[in-house]
Amino acid sequence: MKTEQLAQRLDRVETSAIRELFKLLGKPGIVSFAGGFPDSALFDVAGLQAASQQALTQDPGAALQYGATEGYQPLREQIARFMQAKGVSSLAAQELIVTTGSQQALDLLGKCLIDEGDKVIVEGPTFLATIQCFRLYGAEVISAPIDAEGVQVDALEQLIIEHRPKLIYTIPTFGNPSGATLSLERRKRLLELAVRHQVLVVEDDPYGDLYFDAPPPPSLLALSAQVPGSRDFLAHCGSLSKVLSPGLRIGWLIAPPELLAKAVMCKQFSDAHTSTFAQATAAQYLAAGHMPAALAKVRKVYAERAQVMMQALREELGDAVQFTAPQGGLFLWLRLTGAGGKLTDAATLAQRAIEQGVAFVPGAPFFSQHPDTASLRLSFATADEEKIREGVRRLARALA
């Protein structure tokens, strides 16, 4: 075929610079801080083995048959319970649908909400796949500034007034890539903004369970009970990927009923339903009560690795980099300060770092507008403590 035969909308998205960089990761001996993955060594293999066995023993017909587009009912009930335990006071199983990862929930939202030329507001920086997905549906993706406390709500309100966006997309807790967490006060103000301007807020929350010392502020969904009318302007995407296993591809979407119904319709045309085997396994896993212990384990490991990485960065790079300590999640967001006349271009540093045997992702692609070329994302999740120290030493050599 000829490339001209491809749909024109594909011209709106480029293959990401990040994907190109990932091709280099196969180099032997490389220490990678680049991925957005959880550590596969931490997967609860025994728990999942037992759960999949149970799924096939107890309900083999359901686990291996076609299923409802909305999701496997026992899993919907378990997810509702999981969310209730995190402070969502009223949530019935039929108010959520199971999606094939939260990525699919984002895609369904794009499909159901975005018309050509619509504007949407995201955080700068934000999850790259969301920017790309919304652009594919024809959105102009406006970037709202963030700081250590998450999105700057005053600036956001100005952007809402100026652009009348179709939706606002936010990762309020341990953001990817920023690591930032929206303060409680800003969370409430964001919900008030949604009501005042009648604009849908999409809360993407795959990392909220991965806190280090103390739980983060309640999710926007949990807080919506305190801000009258805000639940009508809120969609929430959740995921088992970072806390249990991304390979299961279990996510969920909670949204106002008219939107949820359309998302179900679109999902029908897309994958009919999320893998029933994966859903039945996840349902058994949650019902068996394995989650709290599994979470306690990964929280502890990631907290230790984050500490080791921050300590190593302070020792090896000193004032050449700036960062805010994340309170959870998988990522550390750095800025190159240029102190001592050192490099401030993260893309150039990424190339030199690969030569030194360490990989990370430059920050610029995570911005839909006004890219910060001095920023970069480091993941502390997948390398053990010794590798983290070695990787940071290599990073220091690349910057020297």
Interacting residues toward ligand PMP by CB under 6 A: 36, 101-103, 127, 171, 176, 204, 206, 239, 241, 246, 251
**CB nearer ligand PMP, residue 179 or residue 206:** 206
Q: What DSSP string runs through 349-361?
A: HHHHHHHHTEE-E
CB of 36 or CB of 71, closer to ligand PMP: 36
Nearer to ligand PMP, 91 or 171 (CB): 171
CB of 320 to ligand PMP, least distance (A): 27
Q: How many CB atoms lie within 10 A of CB 176?
A: 24
- Give min distance, CB of 145 to ligand PMP, in A: 18
Listed in sequence order, the residues at least 6 apart from 40 whose beta carbon sits closer than 8 Å to its beta carbon are 382
Residue 286 Cβ vs ligand PMP, minimum distance, rounded to whole Å: 16
Residue 103 near residue 145, CB atoms below 8 Å: no
**Is 74 or 101 the residue whose CB approaches ligand PMP more closely?**
101
> Rounded to the nearest 5°, which phi and psi values hold at 214?
-140, 150
CA distance 227 to 372: 34
Among candidate residues 274, 230, 296, 368, the one with its CA nearest the CA of residue 70: 274
Nearer to ligand PMP, 75 or 171 (CB): 171
- In sequence order, what DSSP letters do the residues of 93-157 get, joined into one string? GGGEEEEEHHHHHHHHHHHHHPPTT-EEEEEES--HHHHHHHHHTT-EEEEEEEETTEE-HHHHH
Q: Toward ligand PMP, which CB reaches closer, 30 or 129?
A: 129
Q: How far is CA 83 from the centre of its chain?
A: 17
Q: How far is the CB of 199 from ligand PMP (least distance, A)?
A: 20
What's the min distance (Å) between Cβ of 204 and ligand PMP? 5
Contact predicate 139/118, CB 8 Å: yes
**Which CB atom, from 227 or from 383, has the smaller least distance to ligand PMP?**
383
CA 232 centroid distance within chain: 23
Min dist CB 84 to ligand PMP, Å, is 20
As measured in angstroms, the least distance from the Cβ of 55 to ligand PMP is 20
Residue nearest to ligand PMP according to CB distances in the complex? 101
